[in-house]
Chains A and B, each alone.
Chain A
Amino acid sequence: MADVNPAAAAPVTTTTTNEPPPPPPRPTFNRDRNIKYWLRCLRTLLPTEYTSNDLNRTSLAFFCVNGLSILGELGNLTKPDERSQWIDWLYGCQLQSGGGFRASPATDIGPHLSDANRIWDPATLPGTFFCLITLLSLGDDLTRVNREDTLEWLATLQRPDGSFAEMHSGINEKEDTATRDPRFIYLAAAVRWLLRGEEGSLSREVKDIDIDQAVRYVQSCEAYDYGYGSRPGAESHAGHTFCAISALSLLDRLHPPKQPVSYPIGLPNPSQTLRWLLSRQNAPTDPDAFDPSSHVSPPPPSFPPSDAHNGFNGRDNKRTDTCYSFWVIGSLDLLKKAHLVNSESNREYLLEDTAHRIGGFGKWAGAPPDVLHSCLGMVSLGIFREEGINRVDSALCTALQTREWAESLEWRRKKST
């Protein structure tokens, strides 16, 4: 064999010297354990604690399908009829009229639906995004999606300031009290990206969203420390920052061209937002010095801090948490700056601290695994091409293969006349 590593064949040194002890073995991603975790989530009931996500079951579906898909085993370890039943379940969430998907079967009243009560069974932006992306992961080509209706509905969710409503809810809410955070611009941008296709590919003319105004709204959520918050004036938060950056990315408005342009584009202060994002990587909180029931900040790391086992937090002076390893590194990847992260330290945090012995990842060390943290932990590692994890796409938080499948679909092309 020509490619043998000569170091591996070297005799083991047994002499005692003053040399420092060898570094601990590099942690590895336990692929088999994670495959088992996702198969269990897909095939058995999720524990009762997930009831608080009952109205967002399609998001749970996304995490479970996506988890196995990122490991490249969805097609191998599930049966075709299983996948086709799951596809049917997702299409069952599509509204019969008006476009979009509900976020859970919980509000479906079947044949009792009427014009008087349909406000209680609305399509939602999360429901629509999670159903579409999960269908794609399962190999569906989205031809059963009411594409034009969904895009029409999408434009009606946008407000004059550029923000998006999560749904048309059953109460006549004043704009002032309604949710308007970057999450919904991200989801709207993603649904538009998935469904709109090339100019001229739709069967009828459908009003587009106001992209300029959406970009302006995203930009207005920049906080004084250059992270992004849930609305103008709100505290910087890594989840909202990811949504802001990936929304711009999916609207093709993240990277300004060299020549000045007349439309709004890019982060107003990219080098400062970069600094804020990188500042999220922090040493772990000493569990002995931390009282989880305390309402004040965890004790700060020692100074100078150690660079071992550094995960990411979502805000200044908060604990590190698995999901922020994705929200932050995903953002940096879209900004083409993920190489500035200390990826080895992130691996130590995820693989040695938050990975669970039954598979999956918990929120932090000692926490039980859940589908959100398990999925996002894997995507975070996937951005750095972790062995055993397939290539991923940061903007859609999915396997790169899923994005490429979406891009390859024939209905996206301009109709030949």
Chain B
Amino acid sequence: MASYDSDEEIDYSTDPDWSHITPLPQDDGENPLAQIAYHPDYVVAMSYLRGVMAVNDHSPQVLKLTADIIGMNAAHYTVWGYRFKTLMALEASNSLEGEKANWSWRKELDWVQSIAKQYEKNYQIWHHRQLIIDHLNDPTGERERTNEMFASDSKNYHVWTYRQWLVKRFSLFDKEELDTMELLLKEDVRNNSAWNHRYFITLGRLGIESPPEGVIDREVKFAKDAILTAPQNPSPWNYLKAVLRKGNINVVSLVDFCGQFAPIDSEDDISSSHALDVLSEIYDQTGDLGKAEQALMLLAAKYDPVRKNYWRYRKRLLGSGESVPVASEKAPAVHATV
């Protein structure tokens, strides 16, 4: 095997590279549950994988076998683990970049990216990448790689989890990170994942620490500006409320801001159910129970009718102090050991 090529077909039964491995067929018993109509190539490759695992073979051709299987089942966690262990073994014996394997961590990362673009809803790919970057201890280019993924799916949960790990692992709480979130939100102000990441890098990571001077004001303004462009978007409303809590600012301070989107005495001008919801909280707190009830009834009757049971339930709780406790942070947002 002179070079590595994942598209190259392998005939395991005739290839001399594989003559030392006994393929082990799957034992599925007499009448299995959930039997899958496997592609014949998958059946053969999996038999060789079992054969390889049985003898703990981590030689260069295993990279080919594992790539072959990943191409047919990218969610195969065992094969990813086996591949990682093989890469580590080849590196340890100085043979990863040798003539036989002719591979490198860089080539692996490029290949992984191409697989990630093919199979977007996949956790294992990102976990594999994480293991490699952690091992190499170098995040260079990784943010760009995740940005490429956001260009095709800006809410990919696995990619965001990876991005958050990357930022934490290499302390990338910098202007570039904030600018990227600003860009993503400019492109799509409804991208809740980007809102969440923005919160994480500005305030969430602090746990119970106080935020630096000016951050609360900046984030309040950022959220309010976003609400002005799309008042019915839940993401910046949740963000705004969280920022206020973090800054120990009472939600009552939003009374005029909410009034712009929910003038409760001028029904036809109401443009946001979220503003009505916050107003009901505010009036409950200030003891204006009549107005609080009015806001909730507008929600139930017209502005958020699918939740009418909930708004009526909230109405029953008015004045009890139970509906919306305005407690300060009860649990630190970031766990100390993570």
Q: Judging by beta carbons under 8 Å apart, are B150 and A64 in contact?
A: no
Q: Judging by beta carbons under 8 Å apart, are B309 and A48 in contact?
A: no
Q: Contacts A108-B26, A161-B335, A269-B330 known; A281 to B31 CB distance under 8 Å? A: no
Q: Judging by beta carbons under 8 Å apart, are B324 and A50 in contact?
A: no
Contacts of B81 in A (CB 8 A): 120, 169-171
The total number of A-B Cβ pairs within 8 Å is 262
Cα separation A109 to B25 with both chains bound (whole Å): 8
Q: Judging by beta carbons under 8 Å apart, are A305 and B24 in contact?
A: no
> B37 contacts the other chain (Cβ, under 8 Å)?
yes
> B143 contacts the other chain (Cβ, under 8 Å)?
no
Cα separation A92 to B34 with both chains bound (whole Å): 14
B28, chain A: closest CB distance, angstroms: 6
Contacts of A225 in B (CB 8 A): 238-239, 242
Contacts of B187 in A (CB 8 A): 296
Cα separation A169 to B127 with both chains bound (whole Å): 13
B82, chain A: closest CB distance, angstroms: 7
Cα separation A176 to B239 with both chains bound (whole Å): 27
Q: Judging by beta carbons under 8 Å apart, are B78 and A54 in contact?
A: no
Q: Judging by beta carbons under 8 Å apart, are A224 and B242 in contact?
A: yes
Q: Contact string, A254-289, partner B, CB cutoff 8 A, digits 1/0? A: 000000000000001101100100110111000000
Cα separation A180 to B56 with both chains bound (whole Å): 27
Q: Judging by beta carbons under 8 Å apart, are B306 and A233 in contact?
A: no
Which residue of A117, A233, A283, A345 contacts B204 across the interface (Cβ within 8 Å)? A233
A282, chain B: closest CB distance, angstroms: 7
> B155 contacts the other chain (Cβ, under 8 Å)?
yes
> A60 contacts the other chain (Cβ, under 8 Å)?
yes
Q: Contacts A233-B204, A278-B310, A300-B233 known; A82 to B31 CB distance under 8 Å? A: yes
Residue of B nearest to A296 (CB): B188
Give residues of chain A (9-65) contacting chain B, Cβ–Cβ below 8 Å.
41-42, 45-48, 50-58, 60-61, 64-65
Q: Judging by beta carbons under 8 Å apart, are B42 and A51 in contact?
A: yes
Q: Judging by beta carbons under 8 Å apart, are A295 and B154 in contact?
A: yes
Cα separation A246 to B331 with both chains bound (whole Å): 20
> A413 contacts the other chain (Cβ, under 8 Å)?
no
Contacts of B12 in A (CB 8 A): none
> A234 contacts the other chain (Cβ, under 8 Å)?
yes
Contacts of B169 in A (CB 8 A): 176
Q: Contacts A224-B242, A268-B331 known; A179 to B72 CB distance under 8 Å? A: no
Which residue of A169, A224, A295, A296 contacts B199 across the interface (Cβ within 8 Å)? A224
Give residues of chain B (55-90) contacting chain A, Cβ–Cβ below 8 Å.
55-56, 72-78, 81-82, 84-85, 88
Cα separation A331 to B56 with both chains bound (whole Å): 44
Q: Judging by beta carbons under 8 Å apart, are B26 and A106 in contact?
A: yes
Which residue of B197, B233, B334 contacts A232 across the interface (Cβ within 8 Å)? B334
Contacts of B30 in A (CB 8 A): 85, 88-89
Cα separation A283 to B303 with both chains bound (whole Å): 13
Q: Judging by beta carbons under 8 Å apart, are A46 and B35 in contact?
A: yes
Contacts of B29 in A (CB 8 A): 85, 88-89, 92, 105
Give residues of chain A (104-156) contacting chain B, Cβ–Cβ below 8 Å.
105-110, 112-113, 116-117, 120-121, 134
Q: Judging by beta carbons under 8 Å apart, are B191 and A296 in contact?
A: yes
Give residues of chain B (209-254) contacting chain A, Cβ–Cβ below 8 Å.
230, 232-235, 238-239, 242
Cα separation A215 to B187 with both chains bound (whole Å): 38
Q: Judging by beta carbons under 8 Å apart, are A117 and B56 in contact?
A: yes
Q: Judging by beta carbons under 8 Å apart, are B324 and A171 in contact?
A: no
Residue of B nearest to A84 (CB): B31
Contacts of B203 in A (CB 8 A): 224
Cα separation A237 to B26 with both chains bound (whole Å): 36
> B27 contacts the other chain (Cβ, under 8 Å)?
yes
> B332 contacts the other chain (Cβ, under 8 Å)?
yes
B7, chain A: closest CB distance, angstroms: 19
Q: Judging by beta carbons under 8 Å apart, are B39 and A48 in contact?
A: yes
Q: Judging by beta carbons under 8 Å apart, are A316 and B238 in contact?
A: yes
Q: Judging by beta carbons under 8 Å apart, are B335 and A300 in contact?
A: no
> A202 contacts the other chain (Cβ, under 8 Å)?
no
Give residues of chain B (301-325) contacting chain A, Cβ–Cβ below 8 Å.
302-310, 313, 322-325
For A58, A269, A279, A310, the residue with the greatest tally of chain B CB atoms inside 10 Å of its CB is A279
Stretch among B156-164, B175-183, B287-295 lining the A interface: B156-164
B226, chain A: closest CB distance, angstroms: 12
Q: Judging by beta carbons under 8 Å apart, are A220 and B307 in contact?
A: no
Which residue of A52, A55, A237, A317 contacts B190 across the interface (Cβ within 8 Å)? A317
Cα separation A48 to B35 with both chains bound (whole Å): 10
Stretch among B46-54, B93-101, B106-114 lining the A interface: B46-54
Residues of A within 8 A of B (CB): 41-42, 45-48, 50-58, 60-61, 64-65, 82, 85-86, 88-90, 92, 105-110, 112-113, 116-117, 120-121, 134, 160-161, 169-171, 173-174, 176-177, 179-180, 217, 219-220, 222-225, 229-237, 268-269, 271-272, 275, 278-279, 281-283, 295-297, 300, 303-307, 310, 315-318, 339-342, 345
Residues of B within 8 A of A (CB): 24, 26-39, 42, 46, 50, 53-56, 72-78, 81-82, 84-85, 88, 123, 127, 130-131, 134, 150-155, 157, 160-161, 164-165, 169, 187-188, 190-193, 196-197, 199-200, 203-205, 230, 232-235, 238-239, 242, 271, 273, 302-310, 313, 322-325, 327, 330-335, 337-338
Other contacts beyond A120-B78, A217-B335: 10, CB < 8 A: A54-B73, A56-B75, A82-B31, A223-B333, A278-B307, A278-B310, A296-B187, A300-B232, A304-B303, A310-B306
Per CB-CB distance, the 3 closest pairs between chain A and chain B, nearest first, are A60-B34, A297-B190, A85-B31
Pull 25 A–B residue pairs with CB atoms less than 8 Å apart, ordered by A. A42-B33, A47-B36, A47-B37, A48-B36, A54-B73, A55-B75, A82-B31, A89-B29, A106-B26, A106-B78, A108-B26, A108-B50, A174-B134, A177-B134, A180-B338, A224-B196, A230-B157, A235-B157, A271-B325, A278-B310, A279-B307, A283-B306, A295-B153, A303-B271, A304-B302
